[in-house]
Structures are given as C-alpha cells and as structure tokens.
Amino acid sequence: MKEFASDKKSRVPAFLSFVVIALFYLAVFIAEQHLPATSMLFTVLKKGATYALVAVSMNLLNGFTGIFSLGQAGFMLIGAYTYAIFTIPLEQRESVYQYFQGGAVHFTVPVPVALIFAGLAAAFFAFLIGLPVLRLKSDYLAIATLGFAEIIRAIFQWNQLGPITNGSNMLRMFPNFNDFNIRNASGEVTVYLSTTIPFIIAGVCIALIVLLIHSGYGRAFKAIRDDEIAAEAMGINLAHHKQLAFSISSFFAGVGGAMLAMYQTTVQAKSFTSAMTYEILLIVVIGGVGSVTGSVFSSFLFVACSEWWLRFLDEKQMIGTFEVPLLRNGFRLVIFSLIIMIVVLFFRRGIMGTKELPDLFRRKTKEGIK
C-alpha cells in the first residue's frame, strides 16, 4: 500500500531543521565567547531574537487565526513594565522611584518568574478586552486594538499610578541581558551568555507556538482563518478559540516586551508607539504571513538592516576624493522604505510564503530522489 505523508511524514526534514537550528545556537554561543561583546553583531542578534518572538506571536493571530490585531505594542508594554516592576532590586527602588517614595511594590521575583508574570499580565489584559473586541470584523478589530494600545500607553504614564509604573519616568536598574553572563569572584566574565540566553528564551517560546500551531487547536485556528462559517459548522466555538488565540499571542508578546526591556536596559511607556506595531507587522509581512520561519528570518534581516547594514547611508562617504551625494542623516530611512515598498509590491507573499524550514529540506530531498 502507498504511504501518505499525512500520517507517516518523513522525519528527515524535521530532523535536518533541528540540526540547523542547533548549529545556529552553537555558532551564537561560540561567537559570543570569542568576539568583542560590543560588536554590532550581538546588538542585532539580541534585538532580532526579541523581535522574532513578537513577530511570531503576531503571526499566530494575523497569519494563523485570521485576526487582524494591531495591539502588539500595547501588550509588549504591559509585559515590559510587569517584568521591570517585579525585578528592580529593592535597594535600587529608592533611586528609581525617586518621585514616588520608592514605589508601592516591596518585593522582587526571580527573572524567569518575572518573565512568566509579564506574559500572564499581557494575556490577562488580552482576555479582558478580547470579549468585546473580538466580536468586531477585520478593520474595526484592527482599529480597536490599536486604540487599546494607545490607551494603555497613556494609562501607564498616568501620575496616579506612579507608585507602580513610575509615571512618565523611566524604569531602570532591573536585570538585563548582560546579567546573564557568568562572572568569577573578581567580576570578570568567564562565560558569555548575554546573547545565548535571549536566544533560548525566544527559542522556547517560539517552539511552544509552533507546537500549538501543529496541535488540534492550531488546526481549529486555521479553520477559523480559512472560513469562519464552515469552522463554526464543524463545531468550533468561534468566541472561545479567538479568545484563546488572542490571549496566547498576547502572552508571548508580553514575554517579548520583557525581553525588549532587558535589551534596552530601561523601560518607558512612551517608546511603545504604534510605529513599533507597524514595524512588527512589516516583519511579519516581509517574512510571509502564515510562516513562523519567515517571521524569524525577517526579524533578523529587518533588525540587521535598520541597526547595522544600512547605517553607512546616514554618514558622509568618500570614494577616493569623491563625496557620494545624498548620503546624510535620515537617508537610511528613505532607502529602507524603498526596500520595504519593493518587497510589498513584488514579493507579496513575503520571503517564505507559508513555507516553513522543514519544507525547504523537503523540496531538496525530493529532487534528490526523483
């Protein structure tokens, strides 16, 4: 009898993907031990890992459940603040919350617990606003979630909440990525982990999202995306499943927000603008709506371009004695926008379409056999 991939899927592509990812992690770890910690590479990798998680969480909603939400920055903000509030060391609180007598929170929790709190807080808010908002159809839902993010941003800067949020002042002194480095007694770093640990956090979260997508619930989400009426007729409770997807997506956006806080070393509500959501949306679109691999890939590409590879465009460049015209502060953004327009116009399905990493190997192995 003929075999069908639907039940006896060849495990080779999945295994190869796993190997590739493992090697990539190993490379990051080794690079971190040997290259100078100030290298731009690590800035890109850390921020890229953070954005990858947020982009994948957004893709879970937009690409896999068909819910066009633009609340990502709001949920990241909630996550970032939750993380910071619960981890600023007690002895630093007096100086951080200088206008609020050391703040109202008088305990800390370990970093992993704070990360989970960050996710839960974001998921909780998502659950609350999900009830009314998820009844709306596409554009209205987008506007409502965008509005929610703006409101959250305003509320967190509200002075009355100062003892908790520090009002419009920044939160700082909480553990950041550099605190993951292992130091000896005299304070020298013996093992660098400030890039590897963020990679592990983002990796575990993304793996959980991928597992979810491949579970029965993931199939139900896709069914809702493809045809709500048919999904409901097949017994899938729309409200319940949309609420679930929205809360889970927001959980991981919250964790991503906490990672962003660690990356930035400070948190301030006013930086979580809708521009941040658009950036992430762009990443998702460029990577391919409905491809986790695409989102991850384009996160790193996007961050590398905006933070590193295109930086030279902002400075005067000389070729011999010839000064290249146009290059001045801000030109980078022009080029950047052009690239994005080209991608959106000519590669509408993004880099990956809906393909995933194992699919790349699958095609290759097929060609190899046939």
Partner 1 sequence: MENNILRIEHLTMQFGGVVAVNDLSMEINRGEIVALIGPNGAGKTTAFNCVTGVYEPTNGQILFCGRQIARSSPSGKMRKIYAGNDASAFVGDSVRLSPDHVTKLGIARTFQNIRLFSGMTVFDNVLTAKHLRRKSNFLTSTLHLNYAEEKRMREETRELLKAVHLLDVADEMATSLPYGKQRLLEIARALATKPTLLLLDEPAAGMNPQETEELSAFIRHIKDEFQLTIFIIEHHMNLVMDISDRIYVIDFGRLIASGVPDEIQNNPAVIEAYLGGGDE
Which residues of the shown chain bind partner 1 in the complex (CB under 8 A)?
Answer: 2, 4-7, 208, 211-212, 215-217, 219-220, 222-223, 225-227, 229-238, 244, 248, 290, 354
**Minimum distance between the CB of residue 234 and partner 1, rounded to whole angstroms?**
4
User: Which of 284, 276, 238 shows the shortest CA–CA distance to 55?
Assistant: 284
What element of type H or E holds 187?
A: none
Q: Note whether 314 and 289 are within 8 A (CB).
A: no
DSSP assigned state of 267: B
Of 231 and 296, nearer to partner 1 (C-beta) is 231
Of 245 and 304, nearer to partner 1 (C-beta) is 245
DSSP assigned state of 324: P
**Minimum distance between the CB of residue 49 and partner 1, rounded to whole angstroms?**
21
**Coil vs helix vs strand at 319:** strand
Amino acid occupying residue 274? S
Q: Note whether 250 and 122 are within 8 A (CB).
A: yes
Tokens describing residue 278 = 């658009």
Of 213 and 269, nearer to partner 1 (C-beta) is 213
Of 235 and 368, nearer to partner 1 (C-beta) is 235
Of 48 and 254, nearer to partner 1 (C-beta) is 254
**Minimum distance between the CB of residue 201 and partner 1, rounded to whole angstroms?**
18
**Minimum distance between the CB of residue 3 and partner 1, rounded to whole angstroms?**
10
Of 236 and 339, nearer to partner 1 (C-beta) is 236
User: Which of 226, 347, 369 shows the shortest CA–CA distance to 294?
Assistant: 347
What element of type H or E holds 354?
A: none
User: Which of 249, 337, 278 shows the shortest CA–CA distance to 63?
Assistant: 249
The number of beta carbons lying within 10 Å of the beta carbon of residue 40 is 12
**Minimum distance between the CB of residue 248 and partner 1, rounded to whole angstroms?**
8
Of 231 and 286, nearer to partner 1 (C-beta) is 231
Q: How far apart are CA 308 and CA 367, in angstroms?
A: 37
Q: How far apart are CA 282 and CA 249, in angstroms?
A: 17
Residue 303: strand pairing partners: none
**Minimum distance between the CB of residue 250 and partner 1, rounded to whole angstroms?**
14
